[in-house]
Structure 1
């Protein structure tokens, strides 16, 4: 690789000189996938970003089980390659949608309610996520609707069949 030598470290570069250095550097680095290079002179200070590696050290230390990490992050354990022998992937995904995603939905819906609804409307209406199209209604909810007289038995069966 050709090393580009220019004025001493104390010099100040004009815009044209910086452009020339950039073009020379880009020509020397042709084919690289990185973004445009940064050219600095004595009037600028470059310090690389420092990444806190404590999180990586925590994961690599393996002091916590996969199940504990999954629980803390509210991620299904099967997503972290931990087997769940008595459940299918669909059952696990449905469980995640019903039990874990509401933890994430609540701050979003609260923010929408505060910004979109006035005080009276917040007491009358509720904003929520409808996940029935993804995982359907639980059988207990269908039973409640049938037993409460909202649906006939045939309507309840049709709803369960539609959500399979």
Structure 2
């Protein structure tokens, strides 16, 4: 893993002009960060054993999200179809089926959601929050979210002299 062009975390301090210095700062951070144990594809288990939860992260370049707060939740999300843990429900208005979790699974996910505020993953949390898709994983609201439906987005490429500004994409209504 190496720092993606345009990604610079506050934890790393002021962004240096030298590529060599950027790489040194990133390498130091990466050496201290809890190691990621591969599970499959771009899914990894955080190796830090003293964490209350050992989350499974999806890491694709610098885009990192919590895919499950522990191995059990990850597996429940990942193999729900194979375990028959949802019921297909027909939506009359849209004329299509959608999946509705069985009550037992809904309770498991609801309990997990109640425990989100205050969660932490040393070193990795700031990278997860850099990308707007990760805020809900910690029970947080992305900056600039005014409660309206919208998809917060961050640019994937930012010139060194530009600031990363979060924008909101609103779907077609």
TM-score class, shorter-chain normalisation, is: under 0.3
- Larger RCO: 1 or 2 (CA < 8 Å, sep 6+): 2
Relative to its length, the structure with more strand (as a share) is: 2
Larger-Rg structure = 1
TM-score by length of 1: 0.27
TM-score by length of 2: 0.26
Relative to its length, the structure with more helix (as a share) is: 1
